[in-house]
Amino acid sequence: MKSPAHTTAPGTTADKPTLARLLDHTADAIESVRSGRSLTGALARCPAEVRPGVHALSCHVLRRLGQALAARNFLVPKAPPKGVDALLLSALALAWPDGEAPYADHTLVDHAVTAARRRHAASAAFVNAVLRRFLREQPTVLEAARRTVSGQYNHPDWWVERLQADWPEHWQALLCANDRHPPMTLRVNTRRGSVSTYLARLSVAGLPGRPVGTQGVVLNTPCPVSRLPGFSDGDVSVQDAAAQLAARLLLAGAALPPGARVLDACAAPGGKTAHLLELADLDVLALDHDAERLSRVGETLSRLGLHARMQTGDASQPETWWDGRPFDAILLDAPCTASGIVRRHPDVRWLRRPSDVPALAATQARLLDALWPLLVPGGRLLYCTCSVFKAEGQDQIDAFLQRQADASRVVDPPSPGHLLPLPDNQSPAENPGAGAWADGFFYALLQKTRI
């Protein structure tokens, strides 16, 4: 039996939710994800007072869902009803003896049974019996889980197979990296202050960190944005170190004059749009097909005191929104599987299906082909995805270069290509030392031949 730090359920005071209530809502979130809906959407339906706790527990469960499924299959060959199953899987994942179990065994079982009574009274004895058998027969159950692919690696079988094919030397490390907690990385608005100055402000606020890249800061411990000095004033934004490469890569060596026309083709939620405007005085068109998400771009720019033209439209159909004037530079942060940011969004691996990869690759190809004619001769297009799958990265660009005779790779600065979220990742000069601190991304900087 484990002896973790918490021996009683946290939050049993009148002003905090009990563990049983958190488990109840966590089970709702897990059931939602297993039904094909995002964790973000599920959390939006949670009462505000339980949302932070449910978010933390849900992420913990999703990082161990493969193990929990394997254990449940061993203990209960026939799956119970969805609502009960989601609670049982959540409890099994939280009880997993990996050194990170947040509650003592007896506390977890007691509160899981209480939650079961709330969800389906007749299931309480069943949940109690399965969890206690798991604790009694733990070595046998763990061995059975390790004999399955998803139980060993906490990813769907097809995901593991694709990483094995794409990254035969790194696939296991990538799977392990996906189960680690991500860092909280900030981008300092250097229009308003330097990185060193902001690090000093963080230190005074009791939030130590270290610099990464040109404008980045990695906090030692994540915190709510409300605690960040100057966040509401636009002094800093939250953005991963790998994502901070986009604006600098597009602008580096391009010698764009003030007022140059730049298209951010899939702009929401606006982090890269804002970064472009922090770095240069540009005429930026922020385009997105989702009007609601595009409103978040406006909110981000307003907080930072920046301005861009915003338009709702499908980037693959320029005839519906383009005014006919070519762009000097285009940023295409294309829709993708998000396979490079699984540690931040652990639901992604369970939401995606094998068919999503070719479908998204086809969308990316349409976007590239549709946007390329909108670029001035000599202009540059930066293609990027937050994916580690080669079908959405190197394979996509190789195919595009075969189709477009007037397209070539920019050699100064060179494109970093695939960036893997691993400790030994060789980051480009623009982002030294990012390594495991950065998400998985792909970048290709392309230039149109001058006439």
Q: Provide the annotated active-site residues.
A: 386
- At 304, list the tokens: 């930072």
- At 370, list the tokens: 């549709």
| Residue 414: strand pairing partners | 411
Cα-based distances in Å from 102 to 19, 357, 421: 11, 35, 26
Backbone phi, psi, residue 60, to 5°: -60, -45
Residues 6+ apart with CB under 8 A from 374: 263, 318, 322, 326, 327, 330
| 212 touches 431 (CB < 8 A) | yes
Burial class for 201, CB neighbours closer than 10 Å (0-12, 13-18, 19+) = middle
Neighbours of 195 (CB within 10 A): 20
Q: CB-hemisphere CA count at 13 Å for 229?
A: 19
Neighbours of 302 (CB within 10 A): 11
DSSP-H helix ranges across 206-310:
245-251, 271-279, 291-304
| 141 touches 148 (CB < 8 A) | no
